[in-house]
Structure 1
Amino acid sequence: MSTEMNETADIKAIHEVVATVERTQRARDVDGFLELFHPEALWTTGHGRVLIGLDAIAEFTRAVLPGAVFEGPVTYEPVHVQFLRPDVAAVKVRQVYRAPDGGSEGAPLYVMTKDEDGRWLLHASQNTEVKDH
């Protein structure tokens, strides 16, 4: 398989991970969300809380996600994928919370790694709120 074909398949798989983030957030599916993470992942929440390792991410997610209140649908759209190596990608995401009052927007950055089985996982992530100035 050519490098170009591999990259196309990888981009499709990365987009699917982002779609699964959206789906699991909307459904408040804790286990489905946690399956997306590398065991040694680093996650910084939209409010700046740093979570190191899957255990810390799981503890936070189990406490927060089931009771999360969304005033409308949330969407996640990958807007840029940059391969740092064939098995490491930086993924810029547009996250939009749509609410009756207009909602809000986030700009997460996901660093994803490809495991031995070819599965793309969230390895380091920074979720940043976009503020109008």
Structure 2
Amino acid sequence: MTTESTSRAADIEAINRLVATVEHSQQHKDPEEFLALFHPDAIWTTAHGKVLIGLDAIGEFTRKVLPAASWDGQVSYQVAHVLFIRPDVAAVKVRQRYLSPGEESEGAPLYVVSRQADGRWLLTACQNTGVVAD
């Protein structure tokens, strides 16, 4: 394995951990754990089209809606695809599933993540899109 492929594998593993932390924060309805994953200048568009620019706006929204969310901890996030735009920026397609008694819904978020100087990958520009059943 080359140094480059080893580095890429480590980046993919770190991105998978980032998405797993998103899942954990959503399952536990923990706004602070979720917000710690964002770049300070991040852009977030909710599944309903609300555009939030910067961590302050994302935080205000998240602290209001996440603790009151209707799902009962039954949510899963899986990395479906990673496209490296450059070595420190990746587009990550995620499969998101919410399971409530008698109801299931799915989302298809796109996260643009960036690796920081300290090696952490952070959510930088994200679009959370609901999937409409055919």
Structure 2 unmatched runs, 5+: none
For 1:106, give the aligned amino acid. Answer: G
What does residue 9 of structure 2 align with? 8
What does residue 103 of structure 1 align with? 104
**How far 1:71 moved relative to its partner?**
4.7
**How far 1:101 moved relative to its partner?**
2.3
1:38 partnered with 2:39 = yes
TM-score norm. by structure 2 comes to 0.96
User: Over aligned residues, Cα RMSD in angstroms?
Assistant: 1.1
For 1:122, give the aligned amino acid. Answer: L
What does residue 25 of structure 2 align with? 24
User: For the Cα contact (< 8 Å) 1:72–1:100, is it kept in 2?
Assistant: no
Separation (CA, whole Å) in 2 of partners of 1:45 and 1:75: 17
SS of 2:118 mapped into structure 1:
coil
**How far 1:72 moved relative to its partner?**
5.7
TM-score norm. by structure 1 comes to 0.96
What does residue 88 of structure 2 align with? 87
SS of 2:16 mapped into structure 1:
helix
Separation (CA, whole Å) in 1 of partners of 2:23 and 2:72: 15
Separation (CA, whole Å) in 2 of partners of 1:66 and 1:107: 22
For 2:43, give the aligned amino acid. Answer: L
1:47-105 Cα offsets, whole Å, 9 max, x none, are 11000000000000111111111056000000100100000000000000112323100
User: For the Cα contact (< 8 Å) 2:43–2:125, is it kept in 1?
Assistant: yes
Separation (CA, whole Å) in 2 of partners of 1:44 and 1:51: 6
SS of 1:118 mapped into structure 2:
coil
